[in-house]
Amino acid sequence: MAKVDVLLGLQWGDEGKGKIVDVLAPKYDVVARFQGGPNAGHTLEFDGIKHVLHQIPSGIFRERTKNIIGNGVVLDPVIFKAEIESLKKFNLNVVENLFISKKASLIIPTHRLLDQAYEAAKGESKIGSTLKGIGPTYQDKIGRQGLRVGDVLSDKFNDKFKRLSEIHFGILQNLGFEFKWSELEAQFLDAINFLKQFKLVESEYLINHELQQGSTILAEGAQGSLLDIDFGSYPFVTSSNTVTAGACTGLGIAPRHIGEVYGIFKAYSTRVGGGPFPTELLNEDGELMRKQGNEFGSTTGRPRRCGWIDIPSLKYSIMINGVTRLLMMKVDVLSVFPKIKVCTKYQLKDGTVTTALPYELVNEKITPIYEEFKGWQTSVTGNSLTDLPVELIQYVEFLERELEVPITLISTGPDRLQTIFRPLSAV
Ligand code: GDP
Ligand code: IMO
Ligand code: MG
């Protein structure tokens, strides 16, 4: 039987998952999203086109790839409709190539409002949510009162929707949150009608059938491991399991069917929203990284916080996910730096030096301990391994030794073609 490969972010999201899923998609019969929702923004660039996907898997531009939105996803039908409409100009056969799990959770308009109201109530300690309703929707899923995609086929759907909205109205009223409902409701019901033309399926059967047929399958993670609800810097996290195990529960595949685990990371670190970030640079180096890397959120446009690469947190992500191959992104962004720093250890408040991620990340300051490397200071934007400057290769090899997993892909720019495959023989 075939295996499901998983590709997921090892940092705080935005590692370049969309680009690489699109690059790898021709090798796969199926690409499937297993968690998250419209909080994700996955950017693809090819033929001079730049496109951002939020809920639709990044295999959608490859004609013969089936794309599945799995049961672990929270789907906003309004955003989904807008996404489908923005794909029209590409003349893709989306209705044919997209399969949506009936068991995926539905984001209703009040989930978005609740997200806003909860964040406002948190004041200074807000999470920095994308305000897409992710947390409230997963709350209702776990609270066993949510709506699912399959419910739209029932003639009781409008009643169910009304009942859940009314529960939310009560909470919003208590929080003193004001809003206009009629427009939001009309927009939602229109988007629900739109959704009905798509293949709403029991995707766990579909995917296991594909496995039995020997199809190749890639599970596309959203967010990053350091935003995982269990293993991330709680409470500054998202509300789903972003790690490999999430692909099992979010698609209905057994652990023994997992094949390669591709861990994707930037040559530096970024984070958007609140929460601890040990290597954050609050100086001109951080500004330069943001400018060079165009580090502004794909979903919200917010400036991303930037800093040096962080080995202890990467090693933690590799451990939790069982990463078998590393993919290193955005090396071109570091070309302007004469010196490149790598955090190899942390010093804790009591003076202890450690390579482990401490429990108390949020309230206690961690001081990163760095090793310094000479920068390459020459432009790298191509796709030839042999053209890479020696200092960059030394940086890659150092990371590989520290992380103990081979780096099999190096990305030198946002375009599909700016991708270097590094054969295991070169490692
Ligand atoms: P995702 O959420 O993991 O899919 O990542 P995003 O799309 O949110 O953010 C990654 C950003 O970096 C996008 O704007 C990509 O076009 C861009 N990008 C991806 N790979 C590279 C690279 O190697 N170099 C540069 N300069 N940009 C890249
Ligand atoms: P992709 O898939 C980066 C962050 C938010 C916030 C926290 C919780 O593009 O990598 P949420 O809306 O989930 O309640 O927000 O998680 N966040 C992301 N950061 N990339 C993402 O997705 C993110 N999705 C959520 O900024 O700090
Ligand atoms: Mg993103």
Orientation of helix 109-122 relative to helix 134-142, angle to 10°: 110
Query: Does residue 427 surpass a pLDDT of 90?
Result: no
pLDDT tens, 91-128?
999 999 999 999 999 999 999 999 999 999 999 899 99
Query: Does residue 364 surpass a pLDDT of 90?
Result: no
Which ligand neighbours the alpha carbon of 58 most closely?
1
Substitution site in 69, 238, 239 for ligand 2 pocket (most atoms within 8 Å of beta carbon): 238
Query: Does residue 353 surpass a pLDDT of 80?
Result: yes
Q: Mean per-residue pLDDT for 316-329?
A: 98
Number of H helices, E strands in the chain: 12, 20
Specify the DSSP class assigned to residue 336: G
Two structure tokens written together for 24: 């790898």
Nearest residue by C-alpha to atom 16 in ligand 2: 238
CB-ligand 2 contact for 37 (6 Å cutoff)? no
pLDDT tens, 13-46?
999 999 999 999 999 999 999 999 999 999 999 9
Task: Report CA(149)–ligand 1 centroid distance (Å).
Answer: 30
Substitution site in 14, 288, 332 for ligand 1 pocket (most atoms within 8 Å of beta carbon): 14
Q: Residues with Cβ < 8 Å from 56, sequence gap 6 or more?
A: 33, 67, 69, 80, 83, 84, 87, 94, 98
Return the pLDDT at 425.
75
Nearest residue by C-alpha to atom 21 in ligand 2: 223
Return the bridge partners of 315, or none.
none
- Which residues form ligand 1's pocket by a CB distance below 6 Å? 9, 13-19, 41-43, 45, 293-294, 298, 329-330, 332-333, 411-414
Task: Report CA(187)–ligand 3 centroid distance (Å).
Answer: 26
Task: Report CA(395)–ligand 3 centroid distance (Å).
Answer: 25
Task: Report CA(35)–ligand 3 centroid distance (Å).
Answer: 14
Substitution site in 7, 42, 43 for ligand 1 pocket (most atoms within 8 Å of beta carbon): 43
Look at the pTM and tell me if it is higher than 0.85: yes
Q: Mean per-residue pLDDT for 279-308?
A: 95
Query: Does residue 78 surpass a pLDDT of 90?
Result: yes
Return the pLDDT at 365.
86
pLDDT tens, 181-213?
999 999 999 999 999 999 999 999 999 999 999
Which ligand neighbours the alpha carbon of 18 most closely?
1
CB-based contact 266:314 (threshold 8 Å): no
Nearest residue by C-alpha to atom 17 in ligand 1: 414
CB-ligand 2 contact for 9 (6 Å cutoff)? yes
Query: Does residue 426 surpass a pLDDT of 80?
Result: no
Work out whether the CA dihedral 68, 52, 297, 393 comes out positive or negative.
Answer: positive
CB-ligand 2 contact for 41 (6 Å cutoff)? yes
Return the bridge partners of 4, or none.
217, 258
Strands (E), 321-423: 325-329, 339-347, 353-354, 367-374, 407-411, 419-421
Confidence category of residue 247, pLDDT binned at 50, 70, 90: very high
Return the pLDDT at 97.
96
Q: What is the CA radius of gyration of the chain?
A: 21
CB-ligand 2 contact for 11 (6 Å cutoff)? no
Q: Hunting for tokens 């997992």 — which residue is that?
A: 258
Work out whether the CA dihedral 377, 382, 383, 386 comes out positive or negative.
Answer: negative
Two structure tokens written together for 77: 């039908």
Which ligand neighbours the alpha carbon of 225 most closely?
2
Return the pLDDT at 423.
86
The catalytic residues are: 14, 42
CB-ligand 2 contact for 134 (6 Å cutoff)? yes
Work out whether the CA dihedral 396, 232, 321, 139 comes out positive or negative.
Answer: negative
State the chain's mean pLDDT as an integer.
97
Query: Does residue 363 surpass a pLDDT of 90?
Result: no
Two structure tokens written together for 269: 């670190």
CB-based contact 185:205 (threshold 8 Å): no
Q: Mean per-residue pLDDT for 322-341?
A: 98
What's at 283, amino acid-wise?
N
Return the pLDDT at 103.
98
Which ligand neighbours the alpha carbon of 295 most closely?
1
Q: Centre a 10 Å sphere on the Cβ of residue 183 and count the other Cβ atoms it contains.
A: 10
pLDDT tens, 389-419?
999 999 999 999 999 999 999 999 999 999 9
Calpha distance 241→306 (Å, rounded)? 24
Q: Centre a 10 Å sphere on the Cβ of residue 70 and count the other Cβ atoms it contains.
A: 28
Which atom number of ligand 1 is nearest to the Cα of residue 45? Answer: 16
Task: Report CA(175)–ligand 2 centroid distance (Å).
Answer: 24
Distances (CA, A) of 417 to 9, 45, 48, 421: 21, 9, 11, 11
Single out the residue of 416, 414, 409 nearest to residue 388, CA to CA. 409
What is the rounded end-to-end Cα distance, in angstroms, of the chain?
A: 29
Calpha distance 344→366 (Å, rounded)? 13
Confidence category of residue 72, pLDDT binned at 50, 70, 90: very high
Distances (CA, A) of 73 to 68, 108, 241, 250, 312: 10, 14, 11, 7, 29
